[in-house]
Amino acid sequence: MKKTLLAIALLSCSTSALAIKDGTAVDWSQNDDMVKMNCTGTLIAGKWVLTAAHCSKNAPQGVNTVNSGRFTATANNYPAGGPIALDIGLWQLNGVPDTHAIQFLSMRNVEVGEHIRITGFGAGVGLQDLAYAEQITIPPTEGRPEWLTLKFTGNGQTISGDSGAPFTDADGLIIGVHTHGGIDPETGEQASGSRLSYAKDFILEHINSWHYPTVANTPTNGGTITVNVQSLHIDSVVDNATASGDATITGGTCAGAIVNSFDICSYDVASNGYEGTVTLDDNQTITINKGRTKPVTPPTPDPETGSSGGGSLGFLSLLSLLGLGLLRVKQK
């Protein structure tokens, strides 16, 4: 059974196709935590990509992001040969892309009959080739509780290039990773993938940091925004966030709290509308109002001299000096 599933998975990734068929198109720029690499992936914890393990052959080519271009990647796959077979991988990028959007991870058990969204690129290119399908969970394959199996409902069909796409629940939380699709006329099965809950330790051991948007904006005239983050630390952590530049942490549920693994909390950040930084820990930073610099106000001229500084000569002083110069010339 495991060999058959892996063979199907590899076939699904290599077959040429377009984006999710008969799905709902979404704008990549509004979902900028999604990445494309002949498969589909989701940015987590700043510099990591959650995807399918069988997509790792594409890692040397890196990933494409909508805001920050291309990044090289190093693939880490869920260990093979154990009691369970998960098609889950984590790619570490060589930099941190700009991401406003964020999808949090959930370790809960997904029940039969839930509506699940699968968001993927297929093999398409461009802002509108990101799309999602909506399907419904059915009982998993016997003896394979770590697999999440979905039934085709007419609201989109997954195809090649959607491997690694996130499965999200009604709350928008990632609960699985897509492996392959293909309608079975007898069972109605259309898609299957790995339940995220079975990869809990694998995720924490590799990430062991915060999961957060890397950029966030207030209105241009300033104000306070709420930024949500999630702990992907192995152990409980104590809030250690600081702010600098035109950013001030004014509250939130994270502030001063002890946060457990997979807990989601928030920071309230105030700004006058210019650039600042919230540092969660080490090099994990959220840039507030990136690129918005405070205008430089020119100095006010001195009303008596017409000059902005006491060391400069005013217009009348210059006339006096000119007159003295002419007088000396005539005397000669």
Q: pLDDT for 279-301, tens place per residue?
A: 998 889 999 999 999 887 777 77
Top-confidence residue, 42 or 189? 42
Could you tell me the pLDDT band of residue 17, with boundaries at 50, 70 and 90?
very low
Answer yes or no: is pLDDT of 126 > 80: no
- N residues, the chain: 332
For 188-202, how does the pLDDT look when each residue is reduced to its tens digit (9 = 90+)?
667 899 999 999 999
* Closest CA relative to residue 102, chosen from 228, 189, 16: 228
pLDDT at 282: 80
Measured CA to CA in angstroms, residue 104 lies from 34, 111, 126, 180, 304 at distances of 13, 19, 25, 22, 62
β-bridge mates for residue 189, sequence order: 151
Q: What angle do CA 210, 215, 219 make, to 5 degrees?
A: 130
Could you tell me the pLDDT band of residue 152, with boundaries at 50, 70 and 90?
confident
pTM score, two decimals? 0.83
Q: Helix, strand or coil for residue 57?
A: helix
Least trusted range by pLDDT, from 94-98, 245-249, 281-285: 281-285
Least trusted range by pLDDT, from 50-54, 194-198, 310-314: 310-314
**Residue type for 311, please?**
G
* Closest CA relative to residue 73, chosen from 106, 109, 37: 37
pLDDT at 304: 64
Answer yes or no: is pLDDT of 150 > 50: yes
Could you tell me the pLDDT band of residue 52, with boundaries at 50, 70 and 90?
very high
Kindly state the average pLDDT of the residues 306-317.
49
Question: What domains are there in the chain, each with its CATH number?
Answer: 2-203 (2.40.10.120), 209-288 (2.60.40.10)
Alpha carbons 52 and 10: distance in angstroms, whole number = 10
Q: What is the SS3 string spanning 67-85?
A: CCEEECEEEEECCCCCCCC
Q: What are phi and psi of 79, to 5 degrees?
A: -55, 135
